[in-house]
Chain A
Amino acid sequence: MSKNKTVRSLIQISLLVILTAGLVDCGKPPAVTPASTRSEPTAVVPAATSAGTATSSITIIIPEEPPSFNAVISDTGYDALVMHMSLLGMTGIDPEGNIFPVLASELPTVDNGEVVINDQTKEMDVTWKMRRDVTWADGTPVSAEDVLFTYEAASDPTNGFAIPGLDLVTGIDKIDDYTFVVHFSSTYPDYLSFLGGRQIVIWPKHYCNLDQGYTAWDCGRNPLSDGPYILKEWVTSDHLIFVRNPKYFEPGKPNIDQIIVSVVPDASVRETMMRQGDADILMWATEQVANDLKDASNVKLSISPTSRWVMRLFINLAAKGTTDPVATPNPLFGDVRVRQAIRMAIDVDKITSSVWYGYAQPVWTEFFRPPYNTCNIARPKLDIEGAKALLDQAGWAVGADGIRVCKGCMFAQEGDRFQFDLLTYSEYGEPLILTQQLIGEMFKAVGIQASLTQAEGSVMWADSSSGGIEQSGNYDIDLYDDGYAGIDPSYFLSYYYSSASAVPDQGWNVVRFVNAQFDSLIEETNTLNSQTRQTAFCEMAQILDQQLPQILLFTTLNAEAYSTRLTNIQANINSVVSWNVADWTITK
């Protein structure tokens, strides 16, 4: 009996120890990025603020933790949020799409002689001049050496990362400590974003460990700051605390002493926190949140002038399970008249008003964002009867049960029913599912039967060897939102519409749109001549409008909900909300 008591006591003590350990652990100073993964020297935190004398503080709430401070690797947006608070690139982009210098003292252009293009080879040299008054938080100047280091790290074949434009760079030469030249093998129109913009920043050579690699180095989670704020504390999966960088180069900025970035996974809790005044910025407010918070007197909404994300239908032009639209055209959608009928049958306004609270804006061309929004592409009209007539014309006659069957259609077998899977991804949530349902009903109204299916994003967008639905062509029509980052659509157009990208795992032309004229137009956009680019883009717009490999429906909201006590908060689709963090102020 005494033995039993001993065992029982031991078990009780063990449980108590575990509980106590948990409590004690919470009592410890929050674990900043673990020492074992930290590189030396550690990030410099100013003594005054680290001692807790911050006087003004705001809280940003986000649903998931940033994986690191290097936004180009994972591109979750939350990494860009914290990156722009701590680190600087050569340039930034404002909400209107204007690029402005950050570490650069001026923007290199052809006019100021800092961009030189070889007329024969089209090779391009860009000379960058850097500000001389920017230092890292430890006082070391930010110099061209850091730029070369960042380039070396990113271009490392083992541990680097293919940042946009990097494949065109043949080298970077340092002229002096604050001047360097980037050599491009061909004309690269988006050269101003190559070392800046939304995703790229310069990393400190004396602090980051090149051997650890650009994608995995410790300074990616514990950076040495040259931006407005310094990371003071990172409690994994819970919060990050930033304090003002006293060495920040803009005099008198930033205005707020401390910023807390808190991870709150549940959407309704985030919304409640905004109402209660316990959070100051809710990053990426959805249409639902924007609508719910309309009546909250302490919350404002900043809506980006335009949005990147366009809800669209990706129409597989190759037969399901195949990837060659010429050898095996899609029996249903290979005929362009069918695609046109589908577009005519969708009531976009009904979807935006009933599901997206009126925040979604109808879009029908890729070229709707400035500065390339000047193409004259007319908005397609909702025309149910026209859609029916077009389907009749395409050889799809209404069957006995109201669903159309092939009677003289172009690619399907006679008697085949017009039915297919309308697929979307599950993570987006209710609005996308409701949109899918509405579209399914609209299709049914013209005699098309869509089975509504969902898949995880990691399955939809995996490579073909991993069973990726899109890459292996194993779908009929996909529905989700997409669009280009930054302000230059060239890269997006090439990856989504060029013939080369239609080959499985070689790009994201998963609709298998093959058009030689379009391919040559993509080539034509590799120029700095804005008029030539504009003309080429508008010709592309015409082709896409006629061929309809994708049907664009509407943009989703890009907005930030913020407390009325804050000013200068501006949603920015070309970057993230923290793009101007140094300008934020608390007014009451």
Chain B
Amino acid sequence: MTGTLDLTEFHDELRTVARNVLAAADRDSAPSWTRVSTSGWLGLEVDEEFDGAGAGFAETAVVLREYGRAAARGPLPAVAALAVPALGLVDPGSVRDRLLREAVAGATVPVLVLGGETLGVTPFRLDSGVEGPVLHGETSFVLDAPGADRLLVPATRSDGTVVLVDVDPGAGGVEVTDQPVLDATRSFGRVVAEGAVVAADTVHAFRDGASALRHLADRAAVAVACDSLGLAEAMLDTTVAYVGVREQFGRRIGSFQAVKHACADMLVSISVSRRLVAAAVRNVAEGAPDAAVSVSMAKSHVCAAAVDIAGKAMQLHGGMGYTWESGIHVYLKRATLNRSLFGSPAEHRRRLAQRYVSPAGVRPRACGPRRS
């Protein structure tokens, strides 16, 4: 990739392919995993050495946004945005390398065990046992855990270091329970490890454990923000199309100011959301030191805005919008789920607000990430 223009073209192409593939999929099922893997989406961020595309998070973000736009099903976001990059953060080795290649090829579906209600910490611990390392811990709302072939569990060792444990979901002492949610496009599971004995060669050391966990939490939050941005865009498009043809009182309803202005507000909100997501994606992709600031801004703002927009879409579609058949409810449910997943708007704003005052007293500052 050289220069911005090439990158823009690459993103446009990626977007077009993703949109077509997802549009062709049956609305009530996930796009075929073969189609997903042959599209190259699973290995976008993986080095060519491991059969990936050698691109970055910015490219994954393009696909994530299309997943939101289509309210698509399937574990692509969990695998491509979290599990595969997690494997990239640990020391290489034959077991890891094989899993990475299989994941990119779509032969194995690994899922990162990141609780949907936790941010940058892991409740799992890895102790030493007579038969080998032993895993303990439990967490809920793990995205796509029920269908996973492998569970990648971040765990803390007794010395405080953080490792990534590659676990077979069917192994003894490991239990994955399906957690049905109102958003029918999503799958969540509760993962419990009660003294699960794991093979030593499936314990991978993070190169920098604490920062890896923070980075993965940031990724998770931004991935959801990308999804919400895409679904908000879809809701605006469908609403504009509808109010442009639906007639009442002898006029197309989009000519009424109350309707038109509501659509304008949706576009303004999306315009701002796009910038916040772009900044967060850029900072996460570059590993910027204050990436967490833009991540919390994007997650809190965009995921809340998407709920407003999907809600407004339902309102402007009138009675039709409230029907099951219209499918607006699918987006509204997905938007509300996204808002709560990986940190609520209030939690992310609390993180932001911690910067306003230091323990030493007042530390007024200009807003946004610092410019050098």
A-B interaction: no
Question: CB within 8 Å of B: which residues of A?
Answer: none
Q: Which residues of B contact A (CB under 8 A)?
A: none
